[in-house]
Chains A and B, each alone.
Chain A
Amino acid sequence: QKEVEQNSGPLSVPEGAIASLNCTYSDRGSQSFFWYRQYSGKSPELIMSIYSNGDKEDGRFTAQLNKASQYVSLLIRDSQPSDSATYLCAVNAGRGNNRLAFGKGNQVVVIP
C-alpha cells in the first residue's frame, strides 16, 4: 500500500465551478498534511497546511482533514484558469521525523 494515494485522473472543471481533490494516507499516526500546487515546468508551491480534523479555509481554498478515515481533501471554489496545475498531497508522519511522503498528484484543468 502506498503511503499517500491520489487516485483520480485529470480533472476538468468549468471556470467558476468547484474543483474537489482527494487524498488518502496509510500511516494512521500521521500528524501534518499539506497541499502543494505545481505548474508545468515549475517547482511545487505550498498552498495549504492542516493539522487537525475539520476544515481550514484560505481564500478560495479549503482543506478538509478526517483522521479517522485517513483522508484529506482540497476544494477550490470559483475555479480560475490560473488554477490549472497539478496538485500534490503530502503527509508528515511526525514522531520526530520531518520527512514528507507525496502523492503522485492530480492535474486540474479549468476550462474558460
Chain B
Amino acid sequence: DAGVIQSPRHEVTEMGQEVTLRCKPISGHNSLFWYRQTMMRGLELLIYFNNNVPIDDSGMPEDRFSAKMPNASFSTLKIQPSEPRDSAVYFCASSPSYNEQFFGPGTRLTVL
C-alpha cells in the first residue's frame, strides 16, 4: 500500500498568494484529517472528514482556510490569502475506523 500521499512536499510562497495543499488517503479509509504542526503549538487538528463529509472544522484558524473532499481519494486544503504566520508543516492523515490514524509525509509551507 502506498500510504497517505501529500503534495507538494515543500512550498515557498509570498504573502498574499493562494496556496493549495493536496492529499490522497489510503484506499479504503473513510476518515481524513488535516493537521498543522509548529514548534510553539504542536500538532493541531484543523478539520476532519468522514465519508467525504466535513465533521469538525472548529480548528480551522479563520476564513482564509478552506478544505474540500470531493471524493474518497482526494482532499485539498487551501489558504487564501496566505500570511507569514501560516508557515508550518501541514499533515494529512487517514483512518479506517474510529481508531488509528496514519499520517502522510507532510507539506512544509513557508510564507515570506
Contact = CB atoms under 8 A, between A and B. Distances in A.
Q: Do A and B bind each other?
A: yes
The 6 closest A-B pairs by CB, nearest first: A104-B42, A43-B103, A98-B98, A102-B43, A44-B103, A43-B106
A100 B103 contact: no
Chain B interface residue count: which class?
20 to 34
Contact of B91 (A32, A43, A46, A49): A43
A49 B100 contact: yes
Chain A interface residue count: which class?
20 to 34
Q: Is the interface of A mostly helix, strand, loop or mixed?
A: strand
Interface string A28-55: 0000101010000011111001000000
Interface of B: 31, 33, 42-43, 45, 48, 50, 55-56, 91, 95, 97-106
Interface string A83-105: 00000101010101111111111
A42 B56 CA distance: 26
A100 B56 CA distance: 12
A43 B105 contact: yes
Contacts of B56: 97, 99
A45 to B, nearest CB: 7
